[in-house]
């Protein structure tokens, strides 16, 4: 006889509740002592770019990590590099991202729903020039990424531009021009995804999908995961399905009912805004919209390439 309580407990353990988590203002040791570098991290899966990979409050990472970062107005992150591709998706506020070439910087501003893929080894920094905090979703395609390597930092150079992104003077900073013939502009433009430019695709199961990572965008995409943003209308849902890899569902807006199935037993929980469910490989599961309004959620899948599941409307 299947154990409903045991299955429900397993499902509950794989949910990260936003209201039960706290933002960690000491997630990045290199920021200590520099108020202008302060940012807070909320970890859901693994440590992300933080060395706190063994945080017992987070879900274990496999092909990818998942965290939120909160950046106050006026603060920045100094130029650094990673050994893996990472993405920033903006949930609220406006973020300025700068990519560095020598002593020159090209900057792009990202609004809600926009994303940048920071390429392997490409020096980059970011800052909040706005009047409201920036909240962004960050995923790294490694369970335990190496610490970032800083090219510029206030501890090395107190000058504003040098400490931020590596530019020697304000004249060395250029705003991104996607129509430019400059290969540096073309490179950054290929790694910026604007929500307004993504054509929504209606899945046969009745939801709308925008693919951010997983198709040829002209950018170097992560080797370990794909990313879609799903809009699901009230009353809609899908029948149970399984993957051979892990899958994370993160609610951006609204409510999402998620269920697991085992030996004919089904258990269900409701995710609110900024809650996350991590489903392991081979687990039958489903989702539906139980509320009166549309729900929007990120779907991160632990393999690259196009979607492999043929969803069926419930």
Question: What percentage of residues in the chain have a pLDDT greater than 90?
Answer: 68
Q: Report the DSSP pairing between strands 256-262 and 284-288.
A: antiparallel
Per-residue pLDDT of 47-69, as tens digits, reads: 887 888 888 889 999 999 999 99
Per-residue 3-state assignment (H helix, E strand, C coil) for 178-236: CCCCCHHHHHHHHCEECHHHCCCEECCCCCEEEEEECCCCCCCCCCCCEEEEEEECCCC
Alpha-carbon span 151 to 98, nearest angstrom = 13
- Asked if residue 152 has pLDDT above 70, the reply is yes
Residues 6+ apart with CB under 8 A from 100: 79, 122, 123, 124, 125, 151, 165, 166, 167
Alpha-carbon span 285 to 288, nearest angstrom = 11
Per-residue pLDDT of 184-210, as tens digits, reads: 999 999 999 999 999 899 999 999 999
Q: Are 126 and 105 in contact (CB under 8 A)?
A: no
- Asked if residue 162 has pLDDT above 60, the reply is no
pLDDT category of residue 83 using cuts at 50, 70 and 90 = confident
- Asked if residue 237 has pLDDT above 70, the reply is yes
What radius of gyration, in Å, describes the C-alpha atoms of the chain?
Answer: 20
**170-174: long-range contacts, CB 8 A cutoff, minimum separation 24:** 172/103, 172/104, 172/105, 173/98, 173/104, 173/105, 173/106, 173/107, 174/104, 174/105, 174/106, 174/107
Task: Work out the average pLDDT over 260-273.
Answer: 96
Q: Are 25 and 40 in contact (CB under 8 A)?
A: yes
pLDDT of residue 163: 55
pLDDT of residue 54: 83
- Asked if residue 77 has pLDDT above 80, the reply is yes
- Asked if residue 227 has pLDDT above 80, the reply is yes
């Amino acid at each position: 006889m299947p154990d409903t309580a045991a299955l429900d407990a397993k499902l509950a353990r794989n949910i990260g509740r936003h209201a039960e988590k706290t933002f960690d203002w000491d997630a990045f040791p290199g920021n200590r002592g520099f108020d202008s570098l302060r940012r807070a991290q909320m970890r859901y899966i693994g440590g992300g770019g933080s060395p706190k990979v063994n945080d017992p409050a987070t879900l274990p990472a496999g092909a990818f990590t998942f965290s939120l970062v909160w950046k106050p107005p006026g603060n920045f992150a100094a130029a650094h590099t990673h050994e893996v591709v990472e993405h920033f998706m903006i949930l609220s506020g406006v973020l300025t991202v700068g990519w560095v070439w020598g002593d020159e910087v090209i900057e792009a501003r990202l609004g809600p729903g926009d994303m940048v893929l920071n390429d392997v080894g490409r020096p980059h920094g970011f800052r909040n020039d706005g009047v409201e905090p920036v909240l962004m979703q960050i995923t790294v395609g490694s369970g335990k990424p190496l610490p970032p390597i800083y090219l510029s930092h206030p501890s090395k150079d107190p000058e504003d531009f040098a400490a931020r992104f590596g530019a020697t003077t304000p004249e060395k900073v250029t705003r991104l021009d996607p129509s430019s013939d400059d290969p540096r502009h073309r490179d950054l433009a290929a790694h910026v995804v604007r929500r307004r430019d993504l054509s929504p695709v209606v899945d046969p199961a009745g939801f709308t999908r925008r693919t951010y990572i997983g198709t040829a965008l002209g950018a170097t995409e992560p080797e370990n995961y794909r990313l879609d943003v799903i809009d699901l209308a009230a009353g809609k849902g899908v029948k149970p399905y399984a993957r051979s890899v892990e899958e994370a569902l993160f609610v951006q807006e609204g409510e999402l009912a998620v269920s697991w199935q085992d030996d004919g037993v089904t258990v269900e929980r409701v995710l609110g805004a900024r809650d996350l469910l991590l489903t392991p490989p081979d687990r039958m599961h489903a989702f539906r919209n139980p509320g009166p309004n549309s729900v929007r959620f990120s779907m991160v899948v632990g393999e690259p390439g196009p979607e492999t599941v043929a969803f069926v409307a419930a």
